[in-house]
Chains A and B, each alone.
Chain A
């Protein structure tokens, strides 16, 4: 199978990063303890060259900045939407597939910082929209933010398999979405529509009457269907399996975006691979993250052959991680 390795920050203003300075660069062999070039994914710039010309140091790391909360809105008692007024540069950077930020209440310590996906970034008004579900300590702390919030970004690895979404033009894409994970799928749908793709969304309403993201998908011109994917055993319901199979035959999707939990990704990918093994997958990145810079190690997952993947920075082919038996 094609070894798809990418670092989402490679070649960006954030590259080379601390990983490079410690000999752990994901892409460059020379910055990974080797003495000769064996570049794993050329992005148009030589990371080793950038590193040497930067005085053998990493580039400056992203830092928290304080921004104003323009609007707070509860979709449900445990689902909060925030509109945050950021600066021009950040709003532009965050208007990309897979964009996310770390958020934190100013009064809380550094380790409260939480990765949150961007649902929308309005580059005219510089307002970013995020949706937060109250789950644990860190998200509860964010619910306490009233007028201001600390934002650190931009980060870009909120969706895995971005290559398969970016290459779609005048094509079609199926989004299967469940729960809070539909937020990054909205921004992905926005980009897919700009590239003149038809976007078909199966949206799990969960415990609500409808998923909070439905109006966003509709306003983008996506075809949306309300579903309830799972049966009492936690498996994909037969009726939806049948419907997905028919849709795949009708629309000939090249890429399916799975926007749910990792368990959901696994179910979706294995089922669809059984129908057509050539369909590519993109998945919402659910890895636990504390630093977003590949350092803390909380995002590390195991790929094929038990290879470590720093999921906060590294792009992988979701098939390699979620497909059983390869």
Chain B
């Protein structure tokens, strides 16, 4: 059986691995030149209930990626507001580690290959088309294209393109495969009736922080400093994807986590204001490049599905990760594809 996984983020990688374990011939298609998608700027595992989830997944035999993330950990048992015993993986080591692992498992990966359309035969997908017209047939298709962006959505529902890790201008926009197969997307809605939610963190260049902050981060994995009263913006919490990080503490404090970069637990932060904080005088953003202004918009494309993760109305299309529901993290992404 040939399984085609569309989208090489965390859940796509998990899906490809599980399909391979089941004996399928697996092709993983990724739009950019790197796996893990937003996982390249993630870093937080095993915080709160996710610890149990990770252990359960390992016991169930689907723990490959958790174990790799543990191996790439910079810090274990980290505590920050509202969160306990987190593991912080090194975002710089993670992608090449996962890439090598998938290749060792003989999973075929197509990079820089954007899927743009499907060929339907009654209610089944016969094959998919790449951007250049190449037709790829398969028996089962798993869509893990996420729900973030592209540019026009970030513009309409956010504050414009922030030049994030998804790099839409370079590799082209995400396409909703389920929609191309005739199934309307489900969208996430914010309290103010607008659509989507904003990615909840940015990454600062660690070298641009003061020696004291850098040393503290590398020692403890976390650094917290109060935000000047006049710059506290509680409103920003409402548009955040990750509501578990939308606590008051995250609006009143700068919370930095050491994931290789200094992960700043807020959607965006005007550079001028950030530089007013002691130790941040020379700070600059690592991701998104325009983190002083905006961040990516997510939750704009989810497919209706049943509990076996099969898309309603298409016989051989499954979904995983954020495409399959309002899941907020890597830990949640892995099991969505194990279930299949």
Residues of A within 8 A of B (CB): 2-4, 28-30, 35-39, 42, 44-49, 52
Contacts and interface: CB of A to CB of B under 8 A. Distances in A.
Contact of B155 (A38, A39, A46): A46
Interface in B144-198: 149-153, 155-156, 160-161, 168-170, 172-173, 175-176, 179, 185, 187, 195
20 contacts: A2-B129, A36-B153, A36-B185, A36-B187, A36-B301, A37-B151, A37-B173, A37-B300, A38-B175, A39-B172, A39-B175, A42-B114, A42-B131, A42-B172, A42-B173, A44-B169, A46-B168, A48-B151, A48-B152, A48-B155
Interface of B: 114, 117, 129, 131, 133, 135, 149-153, 155-156, 160-161, 168-170, 172-173, 175-176, 179, 185, 187, 195, 300-301
B76 to A, nearest CB: 39
B9 to A, nearest CB: 18
Given A42-B131, A46-B151, A48-B152, A36 B172 contact: no
Contacts of A37: 149-153, 173, 300
B175 A46 contact: no
A49 B161 contact: yes
A29 B185 CA distance: 15
B188 to A, nearest CB: 12
Contact of A39 (B129, B152, B301): B152
Contact of A46 (B135, B152, B185, B300): B152
A38 B176 contact: yes
A49 B159 CA distance: 11
B117 A2 contact: yes
A71 to B, nearest CB: 42
A52 B135 CA distance: 35
A203 B109 CA distance: 46
Contacts of B150: 37, 39, 46
A3 B151 contact: no
Contacts of A30: 152, 156
Given A36-B300, A46-B161, A46-B169, A3 B117 contact: yes
Nearest to A44: B169
A37 B149 CA distance: 8
Interface residues of A: mostly helix, strand, loop or mixed? loop
Contacts of A38: 175-176, 179
Given A42-B114, A46-B151, A47-B152, 7 more contacts: A2-B117, A2-B129, A29-B152, A36-B301, A37-B153, A37-B173, A39-B175
A272 to B, nearest CB: 18
10 closest A-B pairs by CB:
A42-B172, A46-B151, A48-B152, A37-B152, A2-B133, A30-B152, A37-B153, A37-B150, A39-B173, A2-B129
A37 B155 CA distance: 10
B146 to A, nearest CB: 13
**Residue in B114, B131, B150, B161 whose Cβ sees the most chain A Cβ within 10 Å:** B150
B77 to A, nearest CB: 41
Contacts of B156: 30, 35-36, 48
Contact of B135 (A2, A42, A48, A49): A2
A49 B129 contact: no
A318 to B, nearest CB: 14
B117 A49 contact: no
Contacts of B300: 36-37
Contacts of A49: 151-152, 155, 160-161
B194 to A, nearest CB: 11
A40 to B, nearest CB: 8
Contacts of A48: 151-152, 155-156
A55 to B, nearest CB: 14
A47 B161 CA distance: 13
Nearest to A34: B152
B322 to A, nearest CB: 15
Contacts of B129: 2-3
Contacts of A39: 150, 152, 172-173, 175
A240 B173 CA distance: 46
Contacts of A3: 117, 129
A28 B151 CA distance: 11
Contacts of B117: 2-3
Contacts of B170: 44
A49 B161 CA distance: 9
Contacts of B155: 46, 48-49, 52
Nearest to B129: A2
Contacts of B161: 46, 49
A276 B78 CA distance: 64
A74 B155 CA distance: 55
A154 to B, nearest CB: 25
Nearest to A31: B152
A42 B166 CA distance: 15
A29 B179 CA distance: 13
A37 B176 CA distance: 9
A39 B114 CA distance: 12
